Structure 1
Amino acid sequence: MADHILHITERALWDAARAKGTYEISTRGRTLQEEGFIHCSTRTQLPGTADRFFAGLDDLVVLVIDPDRLNAPLKYESNKPGGEEFPHVYGPIPVAAVVDVEPWTA
């Protein structure tokens, strides 16, 4: 069993994904189709991600994702050589892969 990965998002976007059956937002203001993958974090990385990309937003949730339930490749990658590696999901995240939804408060 792989460790869970996390994705922070706006509650309304998660609600829309639940109705559709898949989640396809890469990060704030960017879709999976625009970015090519969905940005995720480990538990340790999450506060920094929230500060960088979601500061000032209310009604955020953290999607707790079971990598074993994904239908798309999961890769840990850095945006620069030797940089910190973040989990990236290269396809839609099935709603069934989200095993918990936590409220986010900065």
Structure 2
Amino acid sequence: MDVFKILRREEWAALRREGRLAGAPVDLADGFVHLSTAAQLRETAARHFAGAEDLFLLSVPSDRLGADLRWEASRGGADFPHLYRELRLSDVEWAQPLPLGPEGHGFPEGID
């Protein structure tokens, strides 16, 4: 199963440059990297990235994260994937721009 991370352009650049990223400001404040399932992704984008441009969507196979990935209750009691270590570039299967259109962000086909 893939889990997903939305990053701002500068965060994605830092991950590529350094090979690892402790996360966005909210991740640093909470002590873990917030991730989403495909089913949670649209609401995550709408709540936390509404109107934001220059975003990238990263896909991470959950089996690459091992025991550092924990499923914990969050928004609405749903279990969300939380990564309790830095996100590594080697964790990322693919990344692509997440364009902003008139009706919100445009997700790749297959992301529900």
TM-score over 0.5 (shorter chain): yes
Q: Within 5 A, what are the aligned runs for 1:65-80?
A: 65-70=60-65, 73-79=68-74
How far apart, in 2, do the equivalents of 1:70 and 1:19 lie?
20
User: Normalising by structure 1, what TM-score?
Assistant: 0.84
1:71, distance to aligned residue in structure 2 (A): 6.1
1:104 matched to 2:86? The reply is: no
Instruction: Work out whether residues 27 and 34 of structure 2, in 8 Å CA contact, stay in contact via their aligned partners in 1.
Output: no
Partner of 1:52: 47
Q: Which amino acid aligns with 1:94?
A: R
1:94, distance to aligned residue in structure 2 (A): 1.1
Instruction: Work out whether residues 61 and 104 of structure 1, in 8 Å CA contact, stay in contact via their aligned partners in 2.
Output: yes
Partner of 2:26: 30
Partner of 1:17: 15
Instruction: Work out whether residues 23 and 87 of structure 2, in 8 Å CA contact, stay in contact via their aligned partners in 1.
Output: no
Relative to its length, the structure with more helix (as a share) is: 2
Instruction: Work out whether residues 71 and 93 of structure 1, in 8 Å CA contact, stay in contact via their aligned partners in 2.
Output: no
1:72, distance to aligned residue in structure 2 (A): 5.8
Q: Which runs of 4+ in 1 moved over 6 A?
A: none
1:51, distance to aligned residue in structure 2 (A): 0.4
Instruction: Work out whether residues 17 and 95 of structure 1, in 8 Å CA contact, stay in contact via their aligned partners in 2.
Output: yes
Say which SS state the counterpart of residue 77 (structure 2) adopts.
coil
Q: For this pair of structures, how many residues does the alignment match? A: 100
Partner of 1:95: 89
Q: Which amino acid aligns with 1:93?
A: L
Identity %: 37
1:99, distance to aligned residue in structure 2 (A): 0.7
Q: Which amino acid aligns with 1:49?
A: T
Say which SS state the counterpart of residue 4 (structure 2) adopts.
strand
Instruction: Work out whether residues 70 and 81 of structure 2, in 8 Å CA contact, stay in contact via their aligned partners in 1.
Output: yes
